Amino acid sequence: MSQATTFAGKVALVTGAARGIGFAIATRFINAGADVVLADLSESDLNASISTLSSDYTGRALAVGANVSKDADITRMVEAASARFGRVDILVNNAGISPKHGGRKARVEDMLAAEWRQVLEVNLTGAFLCCRACLPHMRAAKWGRIINIASVAGRTKTEIAGAHYAASKAGMMALARTLAVEVGSANITVNSIAPGRIETPMATAAGAELNQAYVARIPVGRLGTGEDIAAAVAYLASEDAAFLTGVTLDVNGGSFMI
């Protein structure tokens, strides 16, 4: 798959794109020829990340500050994408939060209902809102790709993330499966990726000791990188994956197998 030409002429929208996995995904699409809308809470953080790209690419990147749990923000985000690039062909729902208590996972007994609701609103409702807003563009084009960045925490037990995070990620995979059935006849595929432990600011917040213990259980012997996830996203967004829909792709170095 040639990164220089694979997505020429396509428009991708990536949420949670200011850093980490999201920025790696956005960079992969830009390098592969796509125009990319990068969305995150802070437009200044997005522009700072975009400024690190080659000047040849920055004209194909649009920063939009948006809270994915806010319906009005999603409407404005998609309108900005349409105004700049004409449409949205590829949606990557990557925005997410995983609150910690004293650097550790939040236990259900210690969790406030407000915290539970916030995580579900950002991680799961945000994905729903983005899907709903982008689907008219994809239906009009008779082509589309939606990729939800879920988590191994939604596939099996987790010692790192709280129940709210795990539930939200399991919900994202269920959303993808259900939506895949609804839109398949429109030449739109909907899939999920369930990353294992990835080197991100969210992972760093768990602490070095916990991460080292986690690496010891990964057959390939390392944490994943944003680029590992970006490569999987690029595959699912490509024509090579045109017959894949409703699936969850586990990208975890072998830490979870099914």
**Catalytic residue ranges:** 165
Phi then psi for residue 245, to 5 deg, are -155, 145
Q: Which of 194, 46, 49, 169 is nearest to 119 (CA)?
A: 169
- Contact of 155 with 258, CB cutoff 8 Å: yes
Give the list of residues 6+ apart from residue 66 with CB closer than 8 angstroms, or none: 15, 39, 40, 41, 73, 74, 76, 77
Which 3 state secondary structure label does DSSP give 189? strand
- For the record, the structure tokens of 242 come out as 């045109």
- Contact of 187 with 137, CB cutoff 8 Å: no
- CA 75, chain centre distance (Å): 18
